[in-house]
Structure 1
Amino acid sequence: MMQTIDLRGTNPSRAELLDLVPRAVTDVGVATEAASALIEAVRAEGSAALRAQAARFDGGEAPSIRVPQSEIDDAVAALAPDVRSALEGAIGRVRQATAAQIPPAASTSLGDGAIVEQRWQPVDRVGLYVPGGKAVYPSSVVMNVVPAQAAGVPSIALVSPPQKEFGGRVHPTILGAAGLLGITEVYAMGGAGAIGALAYGVADLGLEPVQIITGPGNVYVAAAKRLVRGRTGIDSEAGPTEILIIADQTADPGFVAADLVSQAEHDELAAAVLVTTSPAFADEVRVELEGLAAATPHSARVLVALNGQQSAVVLVDDLAAAARFSDAYGPEHLEIQTASDDEVVASIHSAGAIFVGSYSPVSLGDYLAGSNHVLPTGGQSRFSSGLGAYTFLRPQQIIRYDREALGAVAERIHALATSENLPAHAEAVAARFPRD
């Protein structure tokens, strides 16, 4: 179970490591044509297209695409007490951790009468996508909504695919989570068409366009987000989930195996990677995996994921090499379970979220750590970050110069404008200082 990549005794370059990392074969481009057609149908036909797409892809259209407030209220009332308590706990923890992501306003004085102010301005309206499919994700409602609210976004629309099991309505647990957060604008729609609806609006639903779309989805959702980027902002093109664990012989093989299985149960394309300095420990983890994978309720998809080309045991000479491999991989979720966790953390540069120690599993981050679980996949953590309040904020600089302050730099502006052959730039300054 799980292929082995043996890097011991080698010193691959960064480029070579990028070629060695195991990846699932997912090509968003193959869904682009279909996603484009679905988006254009929504633009041309509005809610009629959304109803047709629901009947085609989701097994039935909703009685009302815009979910009535009474239905949201009923869903909140119907939440099981333990689920409601867990959601309220998650909301509180994520709110508290997200508050630290709001940058303070700042003012920089560059001289008398010369001030540059920095502020962080929230967007006016966002669209949040909560997927359906193989699992129900009320936790994704929390992870998408809380950062937008923390950033101060005044208008939030949430969409989720209609569920055949519930007569074409949004899953009641998702609605309940939305209601707990005070979200009143919810639509029963999914897939590429829903992304198009958020980006362009749907007049006959009263759905106004949004400025940013966030949230994970399938390959058609990812393709749709790519297509509307520019019309609206997006968080990322989410791919299959992934976990990379750096562990040495001091780690508990049962813990490591359980954590690998926990992410493999998401999807057949989920990636589970163990990077270790100990071949004997790797063998112990494989033994644990055999039993856990066979016994888990989603055994079939777990086994496909663990045996896929995207999953592997990687053997390295030392923890420094493990960190270099992890940075080349750029994991969505990185766990570190070693005798020198802090040293390993200090050597890591690229990861969506880092879980340190034997009692910080990814499952904790999925629900109640207080961190956000909407994270970059497919190596995107090498150049981007997970969802946060900053996703919905735009830094803006406000420049305040008085006459004396502008006069102090006028000659230098003239010199630079002339060097760039932009004389009108210099003249715009000179006009403020007419010669006697």
Structure 2
Amino acid sequence: MSAAALSDLDDRLGTLLASEPEAMADPYPLYADLREAGPTHRHGSIVFVTRFREAKAVFLDHRRYSNHTTRGSRTEEALARMAAEEREAFHAVSDFEAMYVSRSDGAQHERLRRIGHRAFTPRRIAALRDRLQQYTDDLLGQARDEAVGGIADLMPFAYRLPLMAIADMLEVPAADRETIHRWSGIIGENRRGVDPRTLLPALRAIEEFGAYIREMVAERRTAPRESDLVRLLLDAEGEDVLTEDELTAMFVVLLFAGHETTTNLLGTGIRDLLAHPDQWRRLCDDPGSAEEAVEELLRFVNPTQWAWRVAGEDVEIAGLPVDAGTTVGVMIGAANRDPRAFDRPDELDLARAEARKHLAFGLGVHFCLGNALARLEGEVAFGTIARRFPELKLATDTFGWRGNAMFRSLTALPVRLGRDRGGAA
């Protein structure tokens, strides 16, 4: 590829990283060009990994790649441009995020993951199915009743269902859930990068969120509830005892990660299904196949478009020397559309046999802790919509995207519902 073509490719990538709406609308042609140019692409101080094999290798190599991504070249570049107040806010946010299970490494990660796993045991997740079904039916009924001229926006459904599920697990009062969604949105905006414009709002949201969690924990210490997950974590013993700050960080990440990416899967997944009428009809003809359909939708939609790592030592990725401390962007959205790994990767095929090898949840020791919950939510949601509203159609071909390319999400999803075939399964 010529120097001019590579420069143009780098400019397009910069536009996507800046979360420009036109780039977010369809990043996949850019991903295809990046893959064609090579398995890696250096953008400033960041090395992006674009192909499936190399992305998988980075995910699996937790010894040489760190998840503590508030260090590294990308961060150092951003800090150099910040004012003193912004740097102070950054360090406050990053110190808090360092206690996330998803941002930790080694023994600390093993300990936090072992504790966090108590929230996502197979038995606990399976016990949610009936409640998820009820929530799904109730929310779809609400969307039907609020439709104007037969047109409803399904994005409120897409964010309320996973939020209700994780909030139910933690017994968060219904009246507080919209506030939690607002905090999560602000924190999520900051995860687009180390952006001074989002740091101070994120710090305020973390402080408010943290105060809420600490108050909830204090109340549960004195008045535990039946099947109380909060109490379960409070009762940990030995080295599994969480500090107050660790406990706060654990619940912030459970509430945030427990619904934000599933919202992206549901919203964009419905849009993409309806944009492929043959696949929508396949699901409507057999709503019971939703469990398998979720795997292809995870591959196709990519609720998280990329994941950050930091090289912990000098390494090579596909022959490219990468210095210790370099930020590495694993492009999940590009890897999951790699023709070297998937036949006809840009086609949505709900019967795809190899769909489950996707990287939507990462791989290795940092494999997404909540993957079983997200899969169950997708299965119930997509299957129920197909059964109840088989006449569903998109009401527009123009969509807005929330200002975060890493967690690409629709601002609205207007659909024509058609006839409701009726309630619960």
TM exceeding 0.5: no
Q: Between the two structures, name the one with larger relative contact order (CA 8 Å, sep ≥ 6).
A: 2
Task: Give the TM-score of the pair, scaled to structure 2.
Answer: 0.25
Instruction: Report which of the two has the higher share of strand.
Output: 1
Task: Give the TM-score of the pair, scaled to structure 1.
Answer: 0.25
Instruction: Report which of the two has the higher share of helix.
Output: 2
Task: Choose 1 or 2 for highest CA Rg.
Answer: 1
